[in-house]
Chain A
């Protein structure tokens, strides 16, 4: 299968690769996918107390499209509010990267990773407040 230029560009120069401390109360961690399915994304968001995403990091086990989708989404959500980040749709990723139908699940995974990271962050906040 031929990859789009944008996928190749993100794959070869992935943005925001790395990890942040999981125990940091301002860091939300989302891990989605499964090794048996061939892709796992770990996405971490550092969120300020007023709900702005200050930093995003990812690590992905998967094909080129999965790596490119996670790289792209970390770029997008940086600077967004939590509520804005929750509106990021997989279809936007599909469009931006020209993903073929067989790779749509990669974009779904990236969307889910953002949601999972935010849910983790909110859970941490709730338990801190209670």
Chain B
């Protein structure tokens, strides 16, 4: 069965390409959100299994959104992403409630699946 995913990023061009890449690799993109608040709302509505969550959002940062989603009943698996590198967020990534981090430059269905299935 295909995995459902929500893409959260404030840049439309990135969302567009990410959707194409993930759909080409067999994911079902159930929705897109451009900020933290609408990401939480979209999760409640579409109940995705996965959330690809940009860290730098206009209203709140991705870490805070991940914590909020971790308290939701459906508890989606959250993968953080950024155009910055993992080392830029090293400390916070150690403590986050998200499953993992994937640099935007590395985005592919296989890389995402590998992170999700890591444990």
**Do A and B make up one complex?**
no
Query: Which residues of A are at the interface with B, using a C-beta cutoff of 8 A?
Result: none
